[in-house]
């Protein structure tokens, strides 16, 4: 039986994710949005591209969740976008309401689904989705580290004038200004970039990675990144649907790993058919562990703020 993936939110991230899911033939795709005609129109446009792209995925759109019933994966991209001068934290109240609403509607029709959350502020929205769905922690996953690591890899490859395929990277922590890129775990064909670049250039790449989203927001003026976030969510979905057991950095709900409990924080995990099949703990230097805990504390502040809101 063909898999089914529902994408909630037919904006730039959601529509691009739907396109890539269909073109990779990962399953049939349902695109949901509250704007009348938008998900239907974008889905029809994608379906009409199928003969040219050579895939047989069915893409449908709707303003309700009926077509989403029985989804294997639900990717949540709904929410207001980040705008110039706006921090991810500013999005908290409005997007918390949206995520609670769409999660309730999605899980009612797909109680066995795995949720991939993309909406910002990411780690806090994962918390809302987890509590709203009542799902076990391995079935609620945040898209953060895959995107942040991709930015790290892209900037390192540009600096070294080498193929991005040769570069691996790891970014831990919350999806925001406190994220923790780890230069000694960024390698080119197994060689740490710390052995290939002077420290000042490595620091510049780390700083650009931290500000990767804001850099795009400032350039676009009226929107935020969507190509790379969509690709990151689809890579996660593919690892799950194909049971690839792929090791990827994702926002996961920790229960003592890395000395952190009760928060979604970006860490390396094994993604397979069950969702998060293992949280992988890697050795960290004291300063790296301290930075990770500072990042987790920032996430904790957002979760505490959620508790004070009547959203």
Distance CA 6, CA 51 (A): 22
pLDDT digits (tens, 9 = 90+) for 182-218: 999 999 999 999 999 999 999 999 999 999 999 999 9
Residue of 18, 44, 16, 47 lying closest to 30 (CA atoms): 18
Domains belonging to the chain, first-starting first, are: 4-142 (3.40.50.720), 145-308 (3.90.110.10)
Residues taking part in catalysis: 175
Residue of 258, 281, 278, 259 lying closest to 270 (CA atoms): 278
> The tokens of 10 are what?
């037919």
> The tokens of 103 are what?
């999660």
Cβ proximity of 268 and 249 under 8 Å:
yes
Give me the residues paired with residue 219 across strands.
none
pLDDT above 90 (res 309):
no
Taking the model in full, what pTM does it have?
Answer: 0.96
> The tokens of 276 are what?
């998060």
Sign of the dihedral defined by the CA atoms of residues 310, 74, 292, 194, in that order: negative
pLDDT confidence band for 308 (50 / 70 / 90):
confident
pLDDT digits (tens, 9 = 90+) for 160-173: 999 999 999 999 99
Q: What is the pLDDT of residue 155?
A: 98
């Amino acid at each position: 039986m063909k898999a089914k993936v529902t994408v909630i939110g037919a904006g730039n991230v959601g529509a691009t994710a739907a396109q890539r899911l269909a073109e990779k033939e990962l399953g049939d795709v349902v695109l949901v949005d509250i704007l009348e005609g938008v998900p239907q129109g974008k889905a029809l446009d994608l379906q009409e591209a199928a003969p040219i792209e050579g895939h047989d995925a069915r893409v449908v759109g709707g303003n309700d969740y009926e077509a989403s019933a029985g989804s294997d994966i639900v990717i949540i991209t709904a929410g207001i976008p980040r705008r110039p001068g706006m921090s991810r934290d500013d999005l908290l109240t409005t997007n918390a309401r949206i995520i609670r609403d769409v999660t309730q509607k999605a899980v009612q029709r797909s109680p066995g689904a795995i949720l991939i959350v993309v909406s910002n502020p990411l780690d806090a929205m994962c918390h809302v989705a987890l509590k709203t769905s009542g799902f076990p922690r391995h079935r609620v996953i945040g898209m953060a580290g895959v995107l942040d690591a991709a930015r790290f890899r892209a900037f390192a490859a540009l600096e070294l004038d080498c193929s991005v395929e040769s570069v691996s990277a790891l970014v831990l922590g919350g999806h925001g200004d406190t994220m923790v890129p780890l230069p000694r775990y960024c390698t080119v064909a197994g060689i740490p970039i710390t052995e290939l670049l002077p420290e000042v250039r490595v620091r510049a790449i780390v700083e650009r990675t931290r500000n990767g989203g804001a850099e795009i927001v400032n350039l676009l003026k009226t929107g935020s990144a969507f190509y790379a976030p969509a690709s990151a969510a689809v890579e996660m979905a593919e690892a799950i649907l194909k049971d690839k057991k792929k090791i990827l950095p994702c926002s996961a709900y920790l229960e003592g790993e890395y000395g952190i409990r009760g928060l979604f924080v970006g860490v390396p995990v094994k993604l397979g058919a069950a969702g998060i099949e293992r949280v992988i703990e890697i050795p960290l230097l004291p300063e790296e562990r301290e930075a990770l805990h500072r990042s987790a504390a920032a996430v904790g502040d957002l979760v505490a703020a959620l508790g004070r809101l009547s959203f």
